[in-house]
Structure 1
Amino acid sequence: MTFLFKNYSRRPIHLVSGKGTIVQDDKGKQYLDFISGIAVVSLGHAHPAIVETIKNQSEKLWHVSNLFESPEQEKLAETLTKNTRFAHAFFCNSGAEANEAAIKLARKHTGKHVIITFEQSFHGRTFGAMAATGQEKIKQGFGPMLESFRTVPFNDPAALEAAIDDDVAAIMLEVIQGEGGVHEVTAEFTDAIAGICKSKGILCIVDEVQTGIGRTGTRYAYEQTSLVPDIMTLAKGLGGGFPIGAMLGTAELFDAFTPGSHGTTFGGNPLAISVAQTVVDYIFDGSFLKEVQHKSDYLIGKLESALPKQFDVRGKGLLLGIDCKEDVTSFISKAEVVGLLVVQAGPTVIRLLPPLTVTEEEIDQAVDLLSSVLLIPSLN
């Protein structure tokens, strides 16, 4: 018997502690964590600076209502928008909430109701975010979806152009579709999106819930593309393990969110804001981001050297996928047995999401373990 709903396929491991990239279960077995809470534990487990921040803030103030001024929110908003085209931030608790806010802001600002999203996308499991998601398995059993989303093929400029009409408020996309199989947007497609948005007066929403906060080697993944976003959403790595989400928007959108038009009870509470500020102060340092890029090159090189050509390695930064061309469920279970935690991205793709603080030695160990799991079956 369980007192929990069975909406998760839980793995038979009870993790009880962690430090950096290493976690330990209740039986004392250690694992290399190349999931990091699904791109959440950006600075590794129990990072000393985050631990100290939580201790200090917990002795001051945990929660106050958003009815009161928050200089701390102002500071974090300034950090996140610095040297971008964004001017304002809204803080919430998760990526799905950030995407709900983005959807509402786009519709309210434009007065239009249609938002174009893409096949294999993932934007969350609340009702609006679920409707925006381009995967039928996420929607099964919940009845009719909200009608204001049009889902078109990813990286198909002609299909996108055909979906545009006067009712379109925004185009919403991920730079890398993490949940959908680690599919990266092409330069041709970002050029097409940027051109359509500019010529038609359509807003561009970039969902950086998984790709943002240094995960791809820059502050935000869109910075490596020609995209010109009007709205961006963040969560996961922003709190380094503590729940927080954010939506950023340009100055032109400021007047759309008037008092009472949107809100949250817990979003932007002092504890979450203090942790997020610590995280971004670390990650947005230029030398730290260069290290992420270096580790990415190192990990990709190791994988490509260790694995045969039929394994397709793709992605950016420390958001990588290995397409094994077959179901990877057994591979992931076998990886756990040898002490490596990884996660799927679609049925045939193993996703690697180590903490951004992972070391080269840990990368070497992980590749060796993964190779032993992937190559032995191929010899049978």
Structure 2
Amino acid sequence: MRLYELLYQHLQQVGIELQVAYGTPNVEQAAKRDLIDLPKSIGLKVKNYWFFGGKLLYQPIFRQMLSADRVIVLNANGHILNYLIALAGLWGRRNLAFWVWWPSSRANTGSFKERIRQQLMKTGNWWFAYTSGTRNYLLLDGIPSAQITVLNNSVDVSGFREMLTAIGAAELSNFTTLLGIPNGVPIGLFCGGLYDDKRLDFLFEAVKLIQADCPDFHLLVLGDGIRRDLVSQADANDHRIHYLGPCFTKEKALCFRLAEVFLCPGLVGLAILDAFAAGLPLITTDIPIHSPEIEYLCDNVNGLLVANDSRAYANAVISLLKSPSTLRRLSSGALASSRQYSIESMANQYAEGIIASLKRA
């Protein structure tokens, strides 16, 4: 929500009205329990119609889109309105821009789905890229560089850093006692949606291997999703695994302060910036499904990119925990990286891109 509040303020200063249309999530998204409503001054809450198990979406706002000077949509094949507004462009209503998400590895290049996505995106006349790597993806498809705005997708890093700093030693000690974790033991953290791409089976397999070498290793798991039963079972079977559900604000900050490493062997997204804000090295695997934010990870600088093998992953965590100097170095690298990204900078870039795109329209 912070992004849209800042963006609304930027645009309001130059006489541009921002309206964000959003609606009910599909089953998998709703299971994360991390959604909020936007203020009425910014948000337009509409009825979402989901088809084919949440893969196809229709929102009844086509007339509003036609009347807008600039429409920004996610580059999603399953959003029906994207095709309708693209068709409207053939009759002279060229107001379409894309907010472009794309994994760093184009594993499905050449697939039918990818060809549809490429052709659909070419119907726009401005593109907002999640990261620099996304911009490179667009350039490869012939999108003009002058019509691409790189956002460097972010979260409220400074706000989270303030929460972390405000936590005192007594609060940390009390929270550790509440969780039943002995003082001084190594603690890992996972925070994110509980769904298949996060590879939770892999995570718990690796944790068993870590605990075979470091029996006092504890894992905190924050989040919710369709695989919560798997996490609850792991919690029930091992007193060193602590499932806290979806956590926000103070409780989330306490967990990030307690941990020494951030474990995410599956898809890495914006949680990487929360980890960096807390000075936690992020440890993941070299797989092709990561979100664009994986670009923020510099191997052996602010985290580790490990071979896609649970034994190799566990060994990397064990080695890091047994090397305080390396852990301190990666922690410092994570903190330094967190200062390169901010929601304030993202909102500013977004506003400048919208203003530039309207001048071109």
Q: Is this a same-fold pair by TM over 0.5?
A: no
Q: TM-score, normalised by structure 2?
A: 0.30
- Whose helix fraction is larger, Structure 1's or Structure 2's? 2
The higher-RCO structure (CA 8 Å, 6+ apart) is 1
